[in-house]
Amino acid sequence: MRIATWNVNSIGARLPRLRAWLESAAPDVLCVQELKCADDAFPREQLAELGYESASYGLGRWNGVAVLSRIGIEDVTRGLVDEPRYEEATEPRAIGATCGGVRVWSVYVPNGREPEHPHYQYKLRWLEALRATVAAETAATDKPFAVLGDFNIAPTDTDVWDISLFADSTHVTEAERKALAVLRDAGLTDVLPRPLKYDHPYTYWDYRALAFPKNRGMRIDLVYADATFGAAVGDAYVDREERKGKGSSDHAPVVVDLEL
């Protein structure tokens, strides 16, 4: 079984590349983030033409998450346990589904903007809601379980191209990394890093300042999995090739192959 995650940075803008990638990479399940569209605008029919059912959670031009599957979708859950609101709104940032006997969550963790910004505290509250959701779901199921998506956190200093440039930035603060540690305490582990096809498995590169050609990236798209899921991983890689060329997302897909 092949399961992947990809922040497409607008599914409308990325649809031709998404369709081509689904045909070439052939994931059984794809978790998608940053749809930037409402559910009634989600390209369900175009994806169904390729054999993928879809469950989406989007409310408008920002945020939005989805799960695509060619092995069935059941038990869809939109939103987290006790999910916090930001500026009086609940943002569409998490969707869970069971696909082929595996429970997956597609998540788009809030950016946080700056450590002094209210969005940063919202991010930490949101991560606590994710922890509560993981604890509730893993206690209630024996299915292989994983949370995949854009976490907007680099787990270690080596997951950014130059840590000295991030001293006063989000994505690398102690509180954010503690939130990942809490997920690990809940029984989840980071599927990457593992032996990869290149030295720096970044997943995101800014569009500006030639960041991608210079490989000035970050690893913020993660797969956090329980022991059953993790033990079944036969291979895992970042599809860096998909970040190349015109019209790409600023994120690359992360692909995990399971031997179930």
Burial class, 214, CB count within 10 angstroms (exposed 0-12 / middle 13-18 / buried 19+): exposed
Catalytic: 40? Answer: no
Number of structural domains the chain divides into? 1
**Catalytic residue of the set 52, 108, 122, 237:** 108
Catalytic: 168? Answer: no
What is the end-to-end Cα distance of the chain in Å, rounded? 7
DSSP at 14:
H
3-state DSSP: the chain helix, strand, coil percent, rounded to 5?
30, 30, 45
- Domain of residue 195 covers 2-258
**Cα separations in angstroms, 102 against 74, 145, 146, 216:** 10, 6, 8, 34
**Catalytic residue of the set 150, 159, 190, 221:** 150
Q: Is 34 annotated as a binding residue?
A: yes
Catalytic: 237? Answer: no
Q: What pLDDT score does 254 carry?
A: 96
- Output the tens digit of pLDDT for each of the chain's 260 residues: 999 999 999 999 999 999 999 999 999 999 999 999 999 999 999 999 999 999 999 998 789 999 999 999 999 999 999 999 999 999 999 999 999 999 999 999 999 999 999 999 999 999 999 999 999 999 998 999 999 999 999 999 999 999 999 988 999 999 999 999 999 999 999 998 554 555 668 999 999 999 999 999 999 999 999 999 999 999 999 999 999 999 999 999 999 999 98
Q: What pLDDT score does 196 carry?
A: 52
CATH of the domain at 57: 3.60.10.10
54 in Cβ contact with 31 (< 8 Å) = no
- For helices 174-185 and 118-140, give the axis angle rounded to 10 degrees: 10
Q: What pLDDT score does 250 carry?
A: 98
Q: Tell me which residue of 103, 105, 112, 122 sits closest to 228, measured CA to CA.
A: 103
Residue whose token pair is 């907007």 = 152
Task: Report how far residue 33's alpha carbon sits from residue 153's, in angstroms, rounded to the nearest whole number.
Answer: 15
Q: Is 152 annotated as a binding residue?
A: yes
Kindly write down the DSSP assignment for every residue of 117-132, as one continuous string.
SHHHHHHHHHHHHHHH
**Cα separations in angstroms, 107 against 16, 104, 138, 169:** 23, 10, 16, 21
Cα–Cα–Cα angle for 130, 125, 69, rounded to 5 degrees: 30
